Amino acid sequence: MPLLPARLNLIDGRDLPAASGLTLPVIDPADASALTTLPRSDARDIDAAVAAARSAFAGAWGRTTATERGRVLMRLSAAITAQAEALSELECRDTGKPIAQARADIAACARYFEFYAGAADKLHGETVPYAAGSTVLVLRVPFGVTGHIIPWNYPAQIFGRSVGGALAAGNACVVKPAEDACLTPLRIARLALDAGLPAGALNVVCGLGAEAGAALAGHPGIAHLSFTGSPATGTAVTQAAAVHHVPVTLELGGKSPQIVFADADLDAALPVLVNAIVQNAGQTCAAGSRVLVERSVHDRVLALLAERFSALRTGPGLAGADCGPLINARQRDRVAAMVERAVGDGARVVAQSRLLPEAAATGCWFPPLLLADVDPAAPIAQEEVFGPVLCVLPFDDEAHAVALANGTPYGLTAAVWTRDGSRALRLAHAIEAGQVFINNYGAGGGIELPFGGMKHSGHGREKAFEGLRSFTTLKTVAIAHG
């Protein structure tokens, strides 16, 4: 018997089942029990949601002033904060993440709406000095209907990040959350309507990527698409959107390096190095999954990391463990297979965290694991594991550190730990990444900081004021007046 009532899509302000009448199970990854069901939507449901968004944009929502949009989003932020504990518990059950992480995620989601509420009426266009006797206005305008395909690792946070900016800029949104975790986006979208968002301005359609997701990516009625997920799916959605020349923002994950020099403050660095890979069981696009250590301190850093990994407790999120389960059995098996291959390739398991006795045998567990003697060219050091697996690699000098840092297809985030300020800045310039942290690391953190990748990590930026601009386009009005 599922724990929660069946969930429905939110389309045009109404709670609706899938047109097909089909549902998908929602499974608690901590014990494989049934939580609820979701609508298994298809192109018909996406059509209805896009039509609702188009009419909201042409109607009440499209006429709303920027100030009023900001007020609606501020009320939504307050509503999320007021219901934070219930939302955190829902996020914890749906994704498996530790309750402390879920609380941080819900607070971040509220903060996204607060940030974009405050920014909504600060966004404006420009004038251009052009020909004599003319005035040129460059208007910054919303796209119209924006599509948002979001993943399962941070459902509430990525919903806030993507939808917050798009709504503040004046767009109407259609969201396809991940089939593995979409309970908080559905709940928060309903709160948005209660906060005064007109029906149709925000629609959430659940279902499988290959069905509902593909229908949204290829829909001729959307004018912009924001996607967060795997590189392969990023390619598929870009190809689908290109048929209608729809611009796409892509956030596709990474293989983020943390570079530790011999002069680093290890007391400050160590807890951050561990958290950057254990947070959300490593299922974080900006997880710090490679620690590059100057050879003279490599063995010492490895031993200190091993101590911390051994002390971590893996178990149910609601039990307050340091690390929860992976999202599903497929992801757990994928991580286990990558580690098995790495060990076959010569990597050495240095430490692995404990599984708490209360962890159900049916849970999708993979306790945090520390690997050394990793070949920089091996898949474990090149590909996104999306699990709590940390590779430690030695480097000889600055040039070697930069070569290793840049030696993967990804370029999302990085960190440099050193007391030498000039070296830190040289590396910040040399590293190919959308964000470089010096003596700190925010795995995906910082709503005020532009976020997005280089190389295979994607393109376009979300978060910060840049995330608001990303959901607008420019219209130039040239007036000849003599």
Positions touching ligand NAD (CB under 6 A) are: 149-153, 176, 178-179, 209-210, 213-214, 217, 228-230, 233, 236-237, 251-253, 285, 331, 384, 386
Residues 6+ apart with CB under 8 A from 27: 33, 34, 35, 328
Query: Which residue number, 154 or 395, has a Cβ lying nearer to ligand NAD?
Result: 154
Query: Which residue number, 72 or 246, has a Cβ lying nearer to ligand NAD?
Result: 246
Tokens standing for 239? 């190809």
Query: Which residue number, 38 or 167, has a Cβ lying nearer to ligand NAD?
Result: 38
Query: Which residue number, 189 or 264, has a Cβ lying nearer to ligand NAD?
Result: 189
376, 218 contact by CB (below 8 A): no
Q: In whole angstroms, how close is the CB of 229 to ligand NAD at the nearest point?
A: 3
Q: In whole angstroms, how close is the CB of 98 to ligand NAD at the nearest point?
A: 18
Distance CA(395)–CA(399), nearest Å, equals 9
Which of 251, 294, 432, 462 is the catalytic position?
251
31, 363 contact by CB (below 8 A): yes
Q: In whole angstroms, how close is the CB of 284 to ligand NAD at the nearest point?
A: 7
Query: Which residue number, 38 or 99, has a Cβ lying nearer to ligand NAD?
Result: 38
**Reduced 3-state DSSP string for the chain:** CCCCCCCCEEECCEEECCCCCCEEEEECCCCCCEEEEEECCCHHHHHHHHHHHHHHHHCHHHHCCHHHHHHHHHHHHHHHHHCHHHHHHHHHHHHCCCHHHHHHHHHHHHHHHHHHHHHHHHCCCEEECCCCCEEEEEEEEECCEEEEECCCCCHHHHHHHHHHHHHHCCCEEEEECECCECHHHHHHHHHHHHCCCCCCCEEECCCCHHHHHHHHHCCCCCCEEEEECCHHHHHHHHHHHHCCCCCEEEECCCCCEEEECCCCCHHHHHHHHHHHHHHHHHCCCCCCCEEEEEHHHHHHHHHHHHHHHHHCEECCHHHCCCECCCCCHHHHHHHHHHHHHHHHCCCEEEEECEECCCCCCCCCCCCCEEEECCCCCCHHHHCCCCCCEEEEEEECCHHHHHHHHCCCCEECEEEEECCCHHHHHHHHHHCCCCEEEECCCCCCCCCCCCECCEECCEECCECHHHHHHCCEEEEEEEEECC
Distance CA(424)–CA(428), nearest Å, equals 6
Residue whose C-beta lies closest to ligand NAD: 209
465, 115 contact by CB (below 8 A): no
Query: Which residue number, 120 or 204, has a Cβ lying nearer to ligand NAD?
Result: 204
CA angle 249, 253, 256 (to 5 degrees): 130
Query: Active site includes 114?
Result: no
Query: Which residue number, 152 or 417, has a Cβ lying nearer to ligand NAD?
Result: 152
Query: Which residue number, 70 or 177, has a Cβ lying nearer to ligand NAD?
Result: 177
Query: Which residue number, 151 or 467, has a Cβ lying nearer to ligand NAD?
Result: 151
Quick one: 192 exposed, middle or buried, by C-beta within 10 A (0-12, 13-18, 19+)? buried
Active-site annotation, residues? 251
